[in-house]
Amino acid sequence: MRRNLSSYPLMWRLMDMLEAIFKKIWPKGGGFWSPYLMLSPAILLVGLLVLGLGYIGDASLRTLDTSTFLFSEEWSLTNYERALIEPFIRSVIWRSILGATIVTMITLLLAFPYTYVMVRTRSAFLRKFLLITLFLPFFIGQVVRAYGWLIILGKQGIVNDILGLVGIEPLRMLFNYPSVLFGLIQYMFPFAVLMLAPALTAIPEEIEAAAESLGASWVETMLHVIFPMAKSGMIGAGLVVLTLSLTDFAMPAILGGGTQDFVANAIYDQFFRTSDQGFGSSLAVLLIVIGSFLVWVVFVLVGAGTLAMGAKDK
Partner 1 sequence: MTFDKQIKRRDLLKASAMLGIAGAAGSTAPSLLMAEPAKPKEIIIRAWGGPWVEALKAGVSDPFTAKTGIRVRHDLTEDNEIQPKVWAAVAQKRTPPIHINWDTTTNATKSALRGVCEDLSDLPNLKGTTDLAKPVGVDGYPIVNTYGYVYVLAYRPSAFPSGPPESYHDLLDPKFKGRLAFYNDGIGFHFPAQVAGGGKLDGIPSNMQPCWDFVSKIKAQEPLLGEDPDFVTWFQNGEIDAACTISTNALGAKRNGVDIAWTIPKEGAKFDTDGLWIPRGHSEGDLYWSKEYINQALSKESQQIWLDGLGLPGVIPGLQPPTGLAGDPSYPTKPADFDRLIRISGKIQVENESEWFSKFKAIMQG
Partner 2 sequence: MNQPVSQKLFFWTLVVISIITLSAPTLVVLGASLTSGNIIVFPPDGLSLKWYEALVEKQELQDAFIRSIWVAIICVFISLPTGTLAGIALTKYRLRKGALIQTYLLLPFTIPLIGSGIGLMLVFGEVGVLGSLWPVGVATAVINLPFMIWAVSSSATGLDPDLELAAQNCGAGPVQTFFYVTLPSVMPGIITGSLLMFILSLNEFLVSLLLVDARIVTLPVQVYNSIRSIITPDLAAVSVVFIAVAMLAIAVLDKLVGLEIFLKSK
Binding to partner 2 in span 144-173, by CB under 8 A: 144-149, 151-152, 158
Q: Which lies closer to partner 2 via its Cβ, residue 67 or residue 219?
A: 219
Handedness of CA 228, 182, 159, 132 (dihedral sign): negative
Determine how many CB atoms are found less than 10 A away from the CB of residue 11: 10
Quick one: residue 15, left, alpha or beta (phi over 0 = left, psi -120 to 50 = alpha)?
alpha
Q: Which of 27, 52, 164, 178 contacts partner 2 by CB under 8 A?
A: 52
Specify the amino acid at residue 226: I
Element (H, E) at 70: strand 70-71
Q: Which does 273 bind (CB under 5 to 8 A by kind): partner 1, partner 2, none?
A: partner 1
Using alpha carbons only, what angle is made at residue 120 by residues 115 and 122, rounded to the nearest 5 degrees?
130
Q: Which does 22 bind (CB under 5 to 8 A by kind): partner 2, partner 1, none?
A: partner 2
Q: Which does 117 bind (CB under 5 to 8 A by kind): partner 1, partner 2, none?
A: partner 2
Q: Which lies closer to partner 1 via its Cβ, residue 77 or residue 171?
A: 171
175 belongs to the binding site for partner 2 (CB under 8 A): no
DSSP bridge pairs for 65: 70
Using alpha carbons only, what angle is made at residue 243 by residues 56 and 175, rounded to the nearest 5 degrees?
100
CA distance 266 to 285: 13
Report CA 60 to chain centroid distance, whole Å. 26
299 belongs to the binding site for partner 1 (CB under 8 A): no
227 belongs to the binding site for partner 2 (CB under 8 A): no
90 belongs to the binding site for partner 1 (CB under 8 A): no
The interface region with partner 1, picked from 97-105, 194-202, 214-222, 274-282 by CB under 8 A, is 274-282
Q: Which of 142, 245, 277, 281 contacts partner 1 by CB under 8 A?
A: 277
Helix crossing, 277-301 with 231-246: angle to 10°? 160
Q: What single-letter DSSP state applies at residue 204?
A: -
What binding mask, one character per residue, do residues 112-131 give for partner 1 by CB under 8 A, x or -? --------------------
Q: Which does 18 bind (CB under 5 to 8 A by kind): partner 2, partner 1, none?
A: partner 2
The interface region with partner 1, picked from 41-49, 101-109, 151-159, 235-243 by CB under 8 A, is 151-159
Q: Which of 135, 164, 224, 275 contacts partner 2 by CB under 8 A?
A: 135
Of 151, 185, 155, the residue nearest 169 (C-alpha): 155
CA distance 290 to 284: 10
Q: Which lies closer to partner 1 via its Cβ, residue 30 or residue 141?
A: 141
Q: Which does 292 bind (CB under 5 to 8 A by kind): partner 1, partner 2, none?
A: partner 2
Q: What single-letter DSSP state applies at residue 65?
A: E
CA distance 251 to 141: 11
273 belongs to the binding site for partner 1 (CB under 8 A): yes
**Contact footprint for partner 1 (CB under 8 A):** 64, 66-70, 86-88, 91-92, 147, 150-151, 154-157, 172, 174-175, 257-261, 269, 271-277
